[in-house]
Amino acid sequence: MPIPEEFKDMRPYEPEELAAAYDSLLADPMFRAVVAQVMPQIPADMLGPMMHNCKSILEFQYTFIRPLLDGVIKKCTTGLTYDFASLALSKDEQNYTYISNHRDIVLDSGLLDMALIEDKELNTVEIAIGDNLLIYPWIKTLVRLNRSFVVTRKGGIREMLQSSQRLSAYMHYVIGEKKMPIWIAQREGRSKDSTDHTQESLLKMFAMGGEGTPAERLIGLKLAPLAISYEYDPCDWLKAMEFQLKRDNPDHKKSPADDLMNMKTGIFGYKGRVHYQAAECMDDFIAALPADMAKNDFYSTIAKEIDRRIYTNYRLYPGNYVAIDLLQGGSAHADRYTSEERATFEKYVEGQLQKIQMPGKDEAFLRTKILEMYANPALNQLAAVHCQ
């Protein structure tokens, strides 16, 4: 089935386009230097032949991406666990749109792929990635080789509207025609304080494509909330530093170098235990909403339900509860951790604070921000469970 021409510049590559994409990467000195650093086991003279031997994106992912992620899991985590029992996953029924909280720029979708292929040898996901992260041409080429499609985040009102319409149409095409799964974050950019909220504007974009009522269009995407839980966020100190930089200078913006630092730290930093928990597909919930519901209430209600399903499916760790007690100055959650686990977490936080080197370092503020990152998932889960 030919893919509509309107998607050509944003979609993953097709098999007949792979050779040219490989040649483009191989001609880029920066790409070759990155490969030499992160995959030193591949001889330089073998890189080209190995790439050209991959005749599909899945072969490319199994040859290059999977070994890299295997190494990350072994060296930078104490294990990846996952549970997709809430979904009817099979080779014939796998085209869900996974909408998740956003913890890591690269690994959120990468580790989801690892879970899917290990679980039932399912397809890897098509990945929504913002063009703000594609700071070098080779990165755009590489992500499209990793089954990504590009989300435009720059332009005027008319251009952004057209971009949103095209993005929505493409997502409906992937789910409805290609029968492939998708991963997309519930909001633009990572939640710096780990308070995860689904953007209603994202749901409105989803409903631009497809056919029928807004409810039917959302049901067409088979939205599956996904909770991603890290025991430790290796970027916590970078996020805390960004909080202070923005506090001290409201006009502060991250540079491309900052984005690269966040990507590198997120991939290769220590994460402890990592868990992926899928919630039930949203179809039945959306179908049960009143047909005459006001538009704003419709999207708000769905966003809050996605949030609730993510909150209740977090996998929480001792540090989450220690962080609450440290912030609140008490021991209300001491039954959730041991004295050794509390000491371990406090030592971890101090070590992360020591990594922050900046003029006018406000250590008390930075400590509070790091603690909030770990406390908020537990606080949100407790609130969500209490309201059920």
Torsion of Cα atoms, 65 then 71 then 76 then 78, to 10°: 110
Per-residue pLDDT band for 1 (boundaries 50, 70, 90) equals low
Average pLDDT over every residue of 36-60: 95
244 domain-assigned? yes
**% of the chain residues with pLDDT over 70:** 99
Distances (CA, A) of 196 to 79, 96, 225, 228, 292: 23, 21, 12, 11, 29
Residue 345 lies in a domain: yes
Q: Does residue 66 surpass a pLDDT of 70?
A: yes
pLDDT at 2: 77
CA separation for the pair 68, 267 (Å, rounded): 10
Phi and psi dihedrals of 379, rounded to 5?
-65, -40
In-domain check, residue 342: yes
Establish if 130 belongs to a structural domain.
no
pLDDT at 255: 86
What whole-number distance in Å separates Cα of residue 8 and Cα of residue 4? Answer: 7
Structure confidence at residue 50 (pLDDT): 97
* Bridge partner residues of 150 (DSSP): 129
Residue 147: left if φ>0, alpha if ψ -120 to 50, beta else—which one? left
Query: What domain range is 253 assigned to?
Result: 234-270+316-388
- Domain count across the chain: 1
Residue 333: pLDDT over 70? yes
The predicted-structure confidence for 264-319, as pLDDT tens digits, reads as follows 999 999 999 999 999 999 999 999 999 999 999 999 999 999 999 999 999 999 99
Q: Which helix (H) or strand (E) holds 376?
A: helix 363-387
How is residue 192 written in tokens? 């710096």
User: Residue 219 above 80 pLDDT?
Assistant: yes
In the prediction, which pLDDT does 120 show? 64
349 lies in a domain?
yes
Instruction: Classify residue 93: in a domain, yes or no.
Output: no
pLDDT for residue 191: 82
Domain-located, residue 79: no
In the DSSP assignment, the letter for residue 259 is: H
Please, are residues 365 and 237 in contact by the beta-carbon 8 Å criterion? no
For every residue of 183-224, DSSP letters joined together read EEESSSS--TTS-----HHHHHHHTTSSSSSHHHHHHTT-EE
Model pLDDT for residues 22-38, shown as the tens digit of each residue: 999 999 999 999 999 98
Q: Check: pTM over 0.75? Answer yes or no.
A: yes
> Is pLDDT at 387 greater than 80 in this prediction?
no
How much is the pLDDT for 157? 87
Asked if the structure places residue 330 within a domain, the reply is: yes
